[in-house]
A and B are shown apart, each in its own frame.
Chain A
Amino acid sequence: MKARHKRLAFIAVGLIALGVATALVLDAFRSNLVFFYTPTQVANGEAPQGGRFRIGGLVEPGSLKRAANSLEVRFVVTDTAKRVEVVYSGVLPDLFKEGGGTVVQGRLAADGSFHADQVLAKHDENYMPPEAAEALKQARRVQTTVEVE
């Protein structure tokens, strides 16, 4: 074995060892690295009790209610299995909409509702012109009617 082969092997072994160590550490951290909890996790009591945390999910269509003369809004975050009612007072981001993704940060109140101090919009990775989005929607509508029939 030449000296340079030895060095190459040393680097390769070092990198593999480092990779394995990192994988193990990340796996151990897995639960602490979540940016948000889902409504199901909240219902199961997996979210931190009493502290601030984030909930992520979809804004339930038809659930958004604005107070008459303040910035207070109420809406429901759902992962289609469980739902959490959110109370927030402030300006909602542009992409926030019913049926769209959201991440809210705050605390659970005693009555089970979530008092948010920050509301973020989470959008998906799809980019397309409005006409294409409309066509997709049409296609989906046709598909569901076919399924219903």
Chain B
Amino acid sequence: MGLFGINWYRYAAPQAFYPLAGKMIPWFAAIAVTLGISGLYISLCIAPTDFQQGEVYRIIFVHVPAAWMSMFIYLVMAGWAGIGLALNARLSFMMAQALAPTGAMFTLLALVTGSLWGRPTWGTWWVWDARLTSELILLFLYIGFMALQSAIEDPRRADRAGAVLALVGVVNVPIIYFSVEWWNTLHQGASIGLTRAPAMAAPMLWGVLLMALAFWAYTIVVALMRVRCVIAERAREAHWLNEMREST
């Protein structure tokens, strides 16, 4: 027995987690929609025009949360992979597998919105500076993880190989985050950090934070949906899944 009188270890078993994930999905979906709508409203209607960039800066409300998520999801994915390796937990590997496509999607979104933003402000779609290049490497890491996992037939071996790749790739995340401080880059420094006051007006900050939280909730929803698919796919022959199907 653990916290709140619930035996949390029970949910490490895929057949116990499968229905729990199903119950959690609608809640997080509702949170994602609510936060997304309020975030977009603040971003597009309330936040003031920027003093030097004008309206074009509004792409920040997608770009920055997407870039945060791309790094954060990678850390979570690598965390699950590490737990999976250490504890030999099947569900952990499945969580890592379920997070990868969403992480790749946010990385691509950050790169594309950054490119669209760079053209009018910097005057170029792309430069090989440290921030942009390391974010591109992150996209390749996600794609490599997915490719490696699907290339190996045996799920146990695929999980392990993918987990090692995910863990090795972790070194890239601090490089992305600190690249703008360590080297001369075209990309500007962070506007929002944990150690100092944010360098933006309050409504702009709220827009960014709400959008980031909406992306979080969205990530949880799709990761849970995907992990249910992974569980179902791997338990094709298992008894419990068919019983659950028949009872619903």
Contact = CB atoms under 8 A, between A and B. Distances in A.
A68 interface: no
Interface string B26-43: 000000000000000000
A120 B200 contact: no
Interface in B41-92: 48-53, 57, 60, 82, 85-88
A146 interface: no
B171 interface: yes
Contacts of A100: 52
Interface string A111-122: 000000011111
A128 B50 contact: yes
A144 to B, nearest CB: 20
Contacts of B168: 18
B130 interface: yes
A56 B199 CA distance: 22
A118 B118 CA distance: 14
Interface in A111-149: 118-130, 132-134
Interface string A4-26: 10011001001100110010001
A59 to B, nearest CB: 13
Contacts of A123: 52-53, 121-122, 188
Contacts of A133: 51-52
What is the interface of chain A mostly: helix, strand, loop, or mixed? mixed
Interface band, chain B: 35 or more
Contacts of B130: 33, 35
Interface band, chain A: 35 or more
A92 B204 contact: no
Given A93-B122, A95-B53, 9 more contacts: A4-B86, A15-B167, A120-B122, A126-B199, A127-B57, A127-B60, A127-B204, A132-B201, A133-B51
Interface of B: 48-53, 57, 60, 82, 85-88, 120-124, 127-130, 167-168, 170-171, 175, 182-186, 188-191, 199-201, 204
B50 A127 contact: yes
A98 to B, nearest CB: 13
Contacts of B184: 34-38, 56
Scoring A7, A19, A126, A132 by chain B CB atoms within 10 A of each residue's CB, the highest score goes to A126
A122 B188 contact: yes
Scoring B168, B170, B185, B204 by chain A CB atoms within 10 A of each residue's CB, the highest score goes to B185
Contacts of B191: 125-127
17 contacts: A7-B88, A8-B86, A33-B130, A35-B127, A35-B128, A35-B130, A93-B123, A94-B120, A122-B122, A122-B188, A123-B52, A123-B53, A123-B122, A125-B199, A126-B199, A127-B60, A127-B191
B88 A4 contact: yes
A94 B120 CA distance: 7
A7 to B, nearest CB: 5
Contacts of B124: 118, 120
B171 A122 contact: no
A133 B60 CA distance: 19
Nearest to A129: B48
A11 B82 contact: yes
Nearest to B201: A128
A19 B171 CA distance: 6
A107 to B, nearest CB: 18
Contacts of B128: 35
